[in-house]
Amino acid sequence: MAKKLNPLNLNKLQLKTLTLLQELARHPDIARTDTASGNVTIDELPNPHGNHFHIGPRVVMASDATGLHNPSVYVALARKGLVAPTGMVEAPTLTPAGLAYDTGLRDAILHGADH
């Protein structure tokens, strides 16, 4: 049997937010890993300039990132065990389950940078 895409039934906003958090967690200049738990805390959320922002060499449209500063999204992700329930919007912490969750959106919302 094929693996079910989105087994936790995250909504579109939650999926986009988790995708962006996963990408931010890949950058050691803004994220730190707790080796004991495997959690990754993101110390700095990006601020859009114009209609987009950058995560490393990738570009994200601001319209795909509306959940990054939405406390309700973090509450839902915490309830599903994908982010730690502390810190949330100020310093979101992805759990190992959140880091590994396949949102299926990485290539759809993270674009190659041309500037």
- Specify the amino acid at residue 38: G
pLDDT of residue 113: 58
| Six-digit token string for 9 | 């039934």
Residue 44 in any domain: the answer is yes
Question: What is the extent of the structural domain holding 101?
Answer: 12-106
pLDDT in tens, 36-95: 999 999 998 988 888 999 998 899 999 999 999 999 999 999 999 999 987 778 899 999
Report the predicted TM-score, pTM, of the whole model to 2 decimal places: 0.91
Residue 69 in any domain: the answer is yes
Torsion angle defined by CA atoms of residues 38, 54, 109 and 27, in that order, rounded to the nearest 10 degrees: -20
Residue 114 in any domain: the answer is no
| Six-digit token string for 73 | 């999204």
Length of the chain: 115
pLDDT of residue 2: 60
How many structural domains compose the chain?
1
Residue 74 in any domain: the answer is yes
| Six-digit token string for 42 | 């993101």
Q: In whole angstroms, what is the distance from residue 113 CA to residue 53 CA?
A: 10
Residue 64 in any domain: the answer is yes
